[in-house]
């Protein structure tokens, strides 16, 4: 009998994990580790404390979402998400997804899945889903075997896989769009290890692994940074000595590009705008968060910079800060560069401000209980987003649409209202009733009379990767 047979809901799983004294911030690593074959939640707790958990840029996600990750220094897990798509009818029919808030038992939608790294298959009942989960209880290196499992697999043989798409964190100035993987492309990804040490090595390892398992199968690299390569120099350059740009390519690169590209296009369609003649601000708000100015369908500016630490107040990242404040702290505390980097990336944000959590659900709870530091942290978090919306509207000379997406963006009605409140002078008429309780869907959140539309769009970066892969190999 499988240990999963008795679990019927996500709530039951969370209760089981919490019964062993794990914090909210550790639950998702436990789900992943348990599915990948570790024997006890106690061991998972130890590994969680050793490793933490990482999402798209190496930080915890408040909605439990891991898009890709790195091999930790201790433990034996990978953070993986992938889908198998059938392009005859554009169906995603095998999906290792990651968001327990958005994905629950929804048999009426023909979607199965509630656990981190759980296989989700369309048109399948709950019992079959559990069998698939058991079929995928293998280490990451063995997961490919589950695809062709005689009893539970979704393809007859690996020959059915005609192409593989990969999310790659950093494309530098090399890649302004997705590209077929070649030896030259792999060398360029490797050349960027220095400025993306947490992610590009793992991304390249995924490409090399597929080469061994599926030799000769075309592969496509889709870069988080490529959408932002249209940003003009006035917005991507830093006012540092120009020699450092020439020597080291120190500049703004931006991240979450795949998501910003997707939701800008989908939001424009929902709002009835012509993407090619529009002014849109997209807000990808999760534990890692960024805002992008999308002018006529192209990235014009974005809040993350040379690294993902810049811009917004985030879960554990400080966002924009006077560099002299950081060097002052380093001097007083005798901290090394690595320690300062860790402080800004892993010990700051709402976690650092409150001392409570990096999870906005925990911050919301403390806020409503009157915790003064939680009130300060949440107000700063909301206000920083609002500042970038206003800044980017000024840069573009106007605004047609504000889009919210990401784990917090799609689930926090309080955040969306908090950001839009006070923007009436710009032409925003926010519909509080439409916003109330809206989660994980595509919806207009402004009134019919609003000159500037507001929308919530459920991002789907996997669809962008699948689409780019299909188009490049077609």
Name all domains of the chain by residue range, CATH numbers in brackets: 273-461 (3.30.420.40)
Per-residue pLDDT band at 148 (split at 50, 70, 90) = low
Name the helix (H) or strand (E) containing 463: helix 461-473
Decide if pLDDT at 106 tops 90: no
Bin 472: left if φ > 0, else alpha if -120 < ψ < 50, else beta: alpha
Q: Compute the average pLDDT of residues 198-211.
A: 84
For residues 203-218, b (16+ Cβ closer than 10 Å) or e, as one string?
A: bbebbeebeeebeeee
Give me the mean pLDDT over the 419-438 stretch: 97
First to last CA, the chain: 44
Please say if the pLDDT value at position 20 is more than 50: no
Lowest mean pLDDT of 122-131, 175-184, 381-390, 451-460, name the range.
122-131
Helix locations, 297-371, DSSP H: 323-333, 337-346, 349-354, 360-368
| pLDDT over 50 (residue 330) | yes
pLDDT for residue 144: 62
Task: Say what the pLDDT of residue 153 is.
Answer: 62
* 188 Cβ contact partners less than 8 Å away, ≥ 6 residues apart: 171, 172, 174, 175
Model pLDDT, residue 164: 83
Residue 165 CA to residue 207 CA, distance in Å, equals 9
**What value does the mean pLDDT of the chain take?**
76
DSSP strand pairing (453-456 vs 443-444): antiparallel
> What proportion of the chain, given as a percentage, has pLDDT over 90?
56
> Where residue 141 falls among pLDDT bands split at 50, 70, 90?
very low
322 has a pLDDT exceeding 60: yes
pLDDT of residue 146: 60
Which residues, including other chains, have CB under 8 Å from residue 181's CB and lie 6 or more apart?
166, 207, 218, 219, 220, 221
Of 224, 362, 400, 468, which is the active-site residue? 224
Q: Is 371 a catalytic residue?
A: no
Asked whether the predicted pLDDT for residue 5 surpasses 90, the reply is: no
Q: Which residues have C-beta within 8 Å of that of residue 439, sequence separation ≥ 6?
A: 101, 102, 410, 411, 413
**461 within 8 A of 469, measured Cβ to Cβ:** no
The two beta strands, 118-120 and 289-295, are: unpaired
pLDDT in tens, 245-275: 999 999 999 999 999 999 999 999 999 999 9
Q: What is the pLDDT of residue 154?
A: 59
SS3 content of the chain, % helix, strand, coil (to 5): 45, 15, 45
pLDDT of residue 33: 36
pLDDT value at 385 more than 90: yes
Phi, psi dihedral angles at 148 (to 5 degrees): -110, 15
How far is residue 214's CA from residue 208's CA, in Å, rounded to a whole number? Answer: 10
User: What average pLDDT score do residues 164-184 get?
Assistant: 93
pLDDT in the model for residue 23: 41
User: In this predicted structure, which of 176-190, 208-222, 309-323 has the lowest mean pLDDT?
Assistant: 208-222
Mean of pLDDT values over 225-233: 97
Do the beta carbons of residue 395 and residue 301 sit within 8 Å?
yes
Per-residue confidence band for 343, with pLDDT thresholds at 50, 70 and 90? very high
> Which tokens sit at 177?
């769009």
- Percent residues over pLDDT 70 in the chain: 67
What's the DSSP call for residue 430?
B
Whether the Cβ atoms of residue 188 and residue 172 lie closer than 8 Å to each other: yes
Residue 445: pLDDT band by 50, 70, 90 thresholds? Answer: very high
Quick one: pLDDT band at residue 278, thresholds 50, 70, 90?
A: very high
Q: What is the mean pLDDT of residues 39-56?
A: 37
């Amino acid at each position: 009998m499988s240990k999963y047979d008795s679990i019927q809901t996500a709530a039951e799983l969370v209760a089981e994990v919490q019964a062993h004294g794990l914090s909210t911030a550790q639950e998702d690593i436990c789900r992943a580790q348990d599915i990948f074959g570790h024997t006890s939640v106690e061991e998972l707790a130890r590994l969680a404390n050793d490793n933490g958990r990482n999402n798209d840029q190496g930080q915890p996600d408040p909605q439990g979402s891991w898009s890709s990750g790195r091999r930790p220094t201790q433990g034996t897990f990978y953070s993986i998400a992938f889908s198998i798509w059938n392009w005859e009818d554009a169906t995603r029919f095998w999906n290792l997804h990651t968001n327990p808030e958005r994905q629950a038992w929804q048999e009426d939608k023909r979607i199965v899945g509630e656990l981190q790294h759980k296989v989700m298959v369309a048109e399948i009942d709950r019992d079959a889903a559990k069998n698939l989960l058991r079929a995928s209880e293998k280490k990451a290196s063995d997961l490919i075997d589950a695809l062709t499992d005689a009893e539970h697999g979704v393809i007859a043989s690996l020959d059915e896989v005609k192409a593989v798409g990969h999310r790659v964190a950093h494309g530098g100035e090399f890649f302004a769009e997705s590209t077929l993987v070649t030896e030259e492309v792999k060398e360029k990804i490797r050349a960027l290890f220095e400025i993306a040490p947490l992610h590009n090595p793992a991304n390249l390892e995924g490409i090399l692994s597929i080469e061994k398992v599926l030799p000769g199968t075309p592969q496509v690299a889709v870069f988080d940074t490529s959408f932002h390569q249209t940003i003009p120099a006035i917005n991507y350059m830093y006012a540092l000595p120009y020699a450092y740009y020439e020597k080291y390519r120190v500049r703004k690169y931006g991240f979450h590009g795949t998501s910003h590209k997707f939701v800008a296009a989908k939001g424009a369609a929902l709002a009835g705008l012509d993407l090619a003649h529009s002014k849109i601000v997209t807000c990808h708000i999760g534990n890692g968060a960024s805002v992008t100015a999308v002018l006529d369908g192209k990235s014009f500016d974005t809040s993350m910079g040379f690294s993902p630490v810049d811009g917004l107040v985030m879960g554990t990242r400080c966002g924009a800060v006077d560099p002299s404040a950081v060097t002052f702290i380093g001097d007083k505390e005798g901290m090394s560069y690595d320690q300062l980097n860790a402080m800004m990336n892993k010990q700051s944000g709402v976690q650092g401000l409150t001392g409570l959590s990096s999870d906005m659900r925990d911050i919301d709870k403390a806020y409503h209980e009157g915790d003064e530091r939680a009130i300060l942290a949440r107000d700063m978090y909301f206000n920083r987003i609002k500042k970038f919306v206003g800044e980017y509207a000024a840069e573009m000379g106007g605004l047609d649409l504000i889009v919210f997406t990401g784990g917090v963006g799609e689930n926090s009605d309080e955040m969306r209202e908090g950001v839009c409140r006070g923007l009436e002078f710009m032409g925003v008429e926010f519909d509080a009733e439409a916003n109330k309780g809206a989660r994980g869907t595509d919806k207009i959140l402004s009134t019919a009379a609003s000159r500037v539309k507001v929308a919530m769009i459920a991002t789907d970066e996997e669809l962008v990767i699948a689409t780019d892969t299909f188009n490049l190999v077609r």
